[in-house]
Amino acid sequence: MIEMMVEANNLYKSFPVPSRTLREKAKVLQAVGGVSLSIPKGSIFGVVGESGCGKSTLGRCLLRMESITSGSLTFQGQDITSLSGKELKPIRRHMQMIFQNPYASFNPKQRIGSALHEVAKVHQIPMQEAEDKINHLLKEINLPDDTLHRVPSEMSGGQLQRLAIARALLLTPDFIVADEPVSALDVSVQAQILNLLMDLRQKFSLTMLFISHEMTVVRYLCDQVAVMYLGMVVEQAETEELFKNLLHPYTQTLMSAVPSIDPDEKMERVILQGDLPSAIDLPKGCPFAPRCIYCSERCKEERPELREVVAGHKVACHLV
C-alpha cells in the first residue's frame, strides 16, 4: 500500500474582507475552495496556476502555517487540522518551506554560518552534529566552506537559493513546500536549481509540494500535478498522463502559452479572455466560465465537480 505523507480532504481557507462602509455586509475571500489531495511519501506533487489562484495559501495550509477554515488535514497519518501552535511545535521541524525570493529569506546582516547555526539551535540540534551536517550539506549543494563567513549580499541569487535549500534540509524534514523556488532566478540558474532538487530528492528521499506558475517546470520535476484556478483544483493527474492528455480548457490555455522549442511545431495559441475574477463572491457556475471559449448556459449555472475521467486523471469541466 502507498503510504501518504500529507492528505487534505475538502480543505477551505477563507480570509475576511473588511467592509468599506457601515452598511456593507462583511465578505470573505475564498483563497482555497475545497481542495482534496494526497501526497505519497517520496514523491513531488506539483501545483500550477496563475498568480492569485491560491497556490501559496494552499502550501501554507498544508504546513499549518495558516489556520484551516474547514475540511481536514493529516500529516503522516496524524490529524493536524485543528492543532494549536503548541501542539504543532514538535511537528514543525519535520516540515519546511523554501521561498521564492532567496534574498528576502536571509537576514542581510547575518553571516550565512550564523543563520544556519541559529536554525539548528532553535531546534536543539547539538553543536557538533549541526556543524557536521552543515559541512555535509555545503558539499551537497556545491558551495565552498568559506561561504559560511559571507553575508547574503556577497552571494548570487542562485547560490543563496542553494543555501535556502540546505537550510531546509538541515532539520532532515519529511515534507517540504517549495513555493516558486526558481521563479526569481534567471533561466540558466533555474535549471541548476531544478537539477539540484532532482539530485537531492534521491539522496534525501524528499517528499515535496512544488509550487510554480510554469507548466514546463512542473513537467520536469513533479510526479503528479494539480492545476489550480480560483482556489480550486480543476485538473489533476500523474505528470506524464496530464501532459499527454490536457483535458481542462484552462490547462490547455496554460500550456498554449509555453513557447515551443520545435520551430516546425504549429501550436494554436489560446489567449485568456478578461482578468482572473475575484475570489470574493465567486459566481455559482464554473469558476472558469467568464474566460472560457467553450462556456455554455449550463457552465454558468452549475459548478462542475472534479471527477475521475480516465484512471487517476481528474477534471472539473462539463465538456469533458
Q: Give me the residues that bind Mg ion (CB under 5 A), please.
A: 56
The C-alpha cell that represents 313 in the structure block? 486523471
CA 175/CA 4 separation, integer angstroms: 11
For the bound state, the minimum distance from the C-beta of residue 209 to ligand ATP, rounded and expressed in Å, comes to 12
Q: Which stretches does DSSP call E strand in 230-270?
A: 232-238
Which of 276, 231, 275, 279 is closest to 16 using CA atoms? 279
Q: What residues does 72 pair with on adjacent strands?
A: 9
CA 93/CA 115 separation, integer angstroms: 16
Choosing among ligand ATP, ligand SF4, Mg ion, none, which partner's interface includes residue 51 (Cβ < 5 to 8 Å by kind)?
A: ligand ATP
For the bound state, the minimum distance from the C-beta of residue 263 to ligand ATP, rounded and expressed in Å, comes to 30
Choosing among ligand SF4, Mg ion, ligand ATP, none, which partner's interface includes residue 279 (Cβ < 5 to 8 Å by kind)?
A: ligand ATP
For the bound state, the minimum distance from the C-beta of residue 305 to ligand SF4, rounded and expressed in Å, comes to 10
Q: Please give the C-alpha separations between residue 8 and each of 62, 231, 283, in angstroms, as whole numbers.
A: 8, 14, 24
Which of 275, 226, 281 is closest to 248 using CA atoms? 226
CA 302/CA 287 separation, integer angstroms: 10
Contacting positions for ligand ATP (CB under 6 A): 15, 29, 31, 49, 51-57, 213, 279
For the bound state, the minimum distance from the C-beta of residue 1 to ligand ATP, rounded and expressed in Å, comes to 32
| 230 touches ligand SF4 (CB under 6 A) | no
The C-alpha cell that represents 305 in the structure block? 465537480
For the bound state, the minimum distance from the C-beta of residue 29 to ligand ATP, rounded and expressed in Å, comes to 5
The C-alpha cell that represents 148 in the structure block? 559560511
Which of 6/233 has CB closer to ligand SF4? Answer: 233
CA 102/CA 83 separation, integer angstroms: 30
Q: Which stretch binds ligand SF4 (CB under 6 A): 46-54, 147-155, 185-193, 294-302?
A: 294-302
Choosing among Mg ion, ligand SF4, ligand ATP, none, which partner's interface includes residue 304 (Cβ < 5 to 8 Å by kind)?
A: ligand SF4
| Residue 290 · residue 270 · CB < 8 Å | no
Choosing among ligand ATP, ligand SF4, Mg ion, none, which partner's interface includes residue 299 (Cβ < 5 to 8 Å by kind)?
A: ligand SF4
Which of 166, 46, 160 is closest to 100 using CA atoms? 160
Q: Which stretch binds ligand SF4 (CB under 6 A): 37-45, 79-87, 94-102, 292-300?
A: 292-300
| 231 touches ligand SF4 (CB under 6 A) | no
What is the binding site for ligand SF4 (CB under 6 A)? 249, 286, 288-289, 292, 294-295, 299, 304, 317-319
